[in-house]
Structure 1
Amino acid sequence: MKLLNRFSGVFDTLAKKIEQAEVLDAAADPAAEGAGRLVSGPTVRSLLGGTPLGHPLHPLLVTVPIGAWATAAALDALGNKPGARSAVGVGVLVAPLAAAAGVHDWATTQGGERRVGWVHGLLNTVTLGLYAASWVARRRGNDRLGVLLTLPGLALLGTAGWLGGHLSYARGVGVDVTAFEPEIPEWVDVAASTDVQHGQLTGVSAEDTPVLLTRDADGTPRALADRCTHRGAPLHEGQVEDGCVRCPWHDSLFDLRSGTVVMGPASRPQPVLEVSEREGRLLVRRPAGS
C-alpha cells in the first residue's frame, strides 16, 4: 500500500509542476486560441462538446483507442500477429476523432488546466505517431519492429491517460459545475417582483446558491441555476435570445423554460428552479430530484 501511495504521490507532484509551469503558456495559449477558432461553428461545437449525448464526447471516444491498443498488447503476447495489427489499426483510426473532441474541450480551459491539457495532448500525439508507425511496420511484415514501437507508446498512453483523469477528477474539467449545488427544499424570498423584467437577466442568491431570474413575454417568471454547467460562467451576465440565455463565456445557449441545451459547447442542461410570485416578491425553491 505504501508503494502504491508513493506512486500516486509522484504523479500528483508531476501534475502540480506542470500546472505551475508558466513557460508552457508561450505555446499552449496560441494553440488553444487557434483551436478555438477552428471549432467555432455552432454545429461543430455542439457535436464535439457532446451536446446530443448529454455529456462530453471526449471521454467516450478515448475508450476506443485505449481499449484497442491494450488489446493489441495482449494479442502480441499471445502471438496473434494479424489480430494485433488490426487492433493497432482501429486505435489509429479512431484516435484523431477523440483528439478533436479533446482539443475542443481544452480550448476553453485556462491557466494550470490548459498547461496540463497541453502536455496531455503532446503525449497523446507522440503516442499516436508511435502506433501509426507500428501499424505501418506490421503491414510491411516487420512485426518485431511493430511490437517494439508499441512499448513506449503504451507507457506514454498510460501517462497521458493519468493526466487526462487528473483534468477531469482533480480539476473538474468537463464536470457539470452545478452537480454539487444543494437542494433548496423550502421557498426562499430572493427578489422584488419589480426587479425582474422580460428581456433582462437578474442574478440573485438563494441560500448562497446563485440563481438567474427573468420573465417570459407574458410576464411568467423563470429561474435557472446561474452558474453555467459547462464552466461555471455567471449566466446573468449573458444575453436573452428568443426565449434562451446565451452564456457570456463560451456562447452555450439554454432554454429559459426547461434549461435544455439548445447549442453547445455545454452538454448538461441548466437546473430549473420553481418560482412563486407572492405579494410583490419572487420566491424560488429546488426540491430533491429537480
Structure 2
Amino acid sequence: MNPLHALVDAIEHYDRLDGVASAISKAAGKAVQPRLIRNILSGTPLGHPLHPVLTDFPIGAWTMATVLDTVGGPASEPAADILVAVGIATAVPTAAAGLNDWSDTQGKSRRVGLVHAVANGSALCLFSSSAVARASGSRTIGKALGLAGFGVLMFGGFLGGHLSYGNAVNVNKTAGRTGPKEWTPVMAESELADGEHRKVDAGKVSVLLYRSGSGVLALDSVCSHMGGPLEEGTIADGCVTCPWHGSTFRLGDGHIVRGPATTPQPSYEARVNDGQIEVRRRAPWE
C-alpha cells in the first residue's frame, strides 16, 4: 500500500480521536446554528460549498511566497512578505467554512477531518511565525518557517483531497439520481391523506410525496447534502427539514431555505390520474 494511503487508513481507524472530535463538533455546531451563518459558511447562496473555493486563496498565496523564497532574489522579498500576509488573512475565513462542513461528518471522515484541521492550523501558525520573523529582520528564519509551513500545508491538502474524492464528503448526493421522464404511477391516491407524506419508488429513485389539499408535491427523498432520509424529516410551512443536519427545502420546487445543503433538491411533477398518483421529473429549466 502507498505510504500516504496507509497513513490515511491508520487515521481513519484511530478511534481515540473520537472524544475530542465529538466535543469540537458539538461546539462548532452550536456556533453555526443561526440560519444566516450556516447558509453563508456552507455556501448555500453560492450554490456550491464555500470551503473549497476559499482554500485557493491561502494555498495560492503561501505557495507563491514559498516559490519566491526559494528561487527569488532580494528584489522578490517584499512580494513574498505580502503573500505570506495574504495567506494568513484568508486562512481564517477558510478555516471557519471548513469547520462548518466538518461538524456534519461522522466516523472515519470526522477523524481525517480533525487531522486535516490540525495540519492546516499548524501551517497557519508556522506562516504567522514566519511573518513575525520577517518583520523583525530575521529573514532566514522566516523563510525556514515558511518552508516548514508549506510542507505541513501540503499534507493537510492531501487529507482534504481524500475527504472530497475518497470519502465523498460534502458532494451532491443526488447527482446521477434521475427519475422517470414519463408519467409513472407510484401509489393509489386513497393511500395518501391530506397533510400526510410517504416515500415511494419512482423508477430507479425514491421520491418523497406530500399531500396538500387536492395537490401532491414531490421531491427526491435523499438529501442532497449528506444523503439523509427526508421522509423521516419534519414538514412545516411548505418545507421539509432533513433529520440529519437540518437542511430545509421547499416542497414545491426543492429550493434551499436553510443550509448546509448547497444543491437544490430535485423536484418532480406530480398529478392524480385515474385514482393513481403519478410523477415525472421536471425539465432542468423549470
* TM-score where L is the length of structure 1: 0.93
Deviation at 1:194, TM superposition (A): 2.2
**SS at structure 1 position matched to 2:183:** strand
Residue 3 of structure 1 corresponds to: none
Residue 272 of structure 2 corresponds to: 277
Residue 227 of structure 2 corresponds to: 232
Alignment of 1:14-53 (within 5 A): 14-53=7-46
Q: Which runs of 4+ in 1 moved over 6 A?
A: none
Deviation at 1:153, TM superposition (A): 0.9
Residue 70 of structure 1 corresponds to: 63
In structure 1, distance between residues paired with 2:26 and 2:270: 40
In the alignment, is the contact (CA less than 8 A) between 2:179 and 2:203 conserved in 1? no
In the alignment, is the contact (CA less than 8 A) between 1:184 and 1:287 conserved in 2? no
Unaligned runs of 5+ in 1: 1-5
Amino acid at match of 1:163: L
1:60 to 2:56 alignment = no
Deviation at 1:35, TM superposition (A): 1.1
- What does the per-residue CA deviation read over 1:101-132, in whole Å, with 9 as the maximum and x for residues that have no partner? 00000001000010000000010111100000
Deviation at 1:214, TM superposition (A): 0.6
In structure 1, distance between residues paired with 2:208 and 2:24: 34
- What does the per-residue CA deviation read over 1:216-271, in whole Å, with 9 as the maximum and x for residues that have no partner? 3x421111000111111111111112111111111111111111101111111000
- What does the per-residue CA deviation read over 1:33-64, in whole Å, with 9 as the maximum and x for residues that have no partner? 11111111111111101010001110011110
Alignment of 1:198-217 (within 5 A): 198-216=194-212
Residue 257 of structure 1 corresponds to: 252
In structure 2, distance between residues paired with 1:115 and 1:17: 10
Residue 145 of structure 1 corresponds to: 141
Deviation at 1:141, TM superposition (A): 1.6
In structure 2, distance between residues paired with 1:244 and 1:198: 15
Residue of structure 2 aligned with 1:122, choices 96, 118, 121: 118
In the alignment, is the contact (CA less than 8 A) between 2:179 and 2:205 conserved in 1? no
In structure 1, distance between residues paired with 2:255 and 2:55: 26
User: How many residues matched?
Assistant: 282
RMSD after superposition: 1.5
Deviation at 1:289, TM superposition (A): 4.1
